Amino acid sequence: MRGYHQKFTTGIKYYLGLCRRAGQDPYGNTYYEDRYFLFKGRKKSRRWVIYNGLAEGSKVPSEWHGWLHQTTNKIPSYDQWMKQSWRRTHLPNLSGTLNKEGISSQEEKKISYKAWLPE
């Protein structure tokens, strides 16, 4: 429910001119920043992301993560993103799901664990 509330309030703030849309990443996540932080006596603006689809923190690219946490004030561009040949598309964390990779449940049962004892 919180996601809908955040999208609604962001829409109202954007319409009233109280925040600005900073950009969008290749995954469709949209980034916003307060415009009125100086009037509230804050030294730094408030920045947030509206996720495209499931809200998962690992969907935020490293460039945008730095911007969100105010490590940098430079807004990343899509061209910078595509220049890096080592980039891959995002894969969600599948641990604890039926689609997990690695050891199967039958193999887990075969592994015997030995407790560590201090000497």
Q: What is the pLDDT of residues 29-41, one digit of tens each?
A: 999 988 766 566 6
The whole-number pLDDT of residue 108 equals 61
Range of the domain at 15: 2-87
pLDDT in the model for residue 38: 58
In a domain, 33, yes or no: yes
In a domain, 118, yes or no: no
Task: Report the b/e string of 52-76 with b at 16+ CB within 10 A.
Answer: eeeeeeebbbebbeebbeeeeeeeb
Asked if pLDDT for residue 1 goes beyond 50, the answer is no
13 lies in a domain?
A: yes
Place of tokens 């080592």: 86
User: Is residue 24, in this structure, part of any structural domain at all?
Assistant: yes
Q: What is the pTM of this model?
A: 0.65
Number of domains in the chain: 1
pLDDT score, position 40: 64
Helix (H) and strand (E) counts for the chain? 4, 3
Cα angle vertex 54, ends 67, 59, to 5°?
35
Pick 61 or 37 by higher pLDDT: 61
C-alpha–C-alpha distance, residues 33 and 45, integer Å: 7
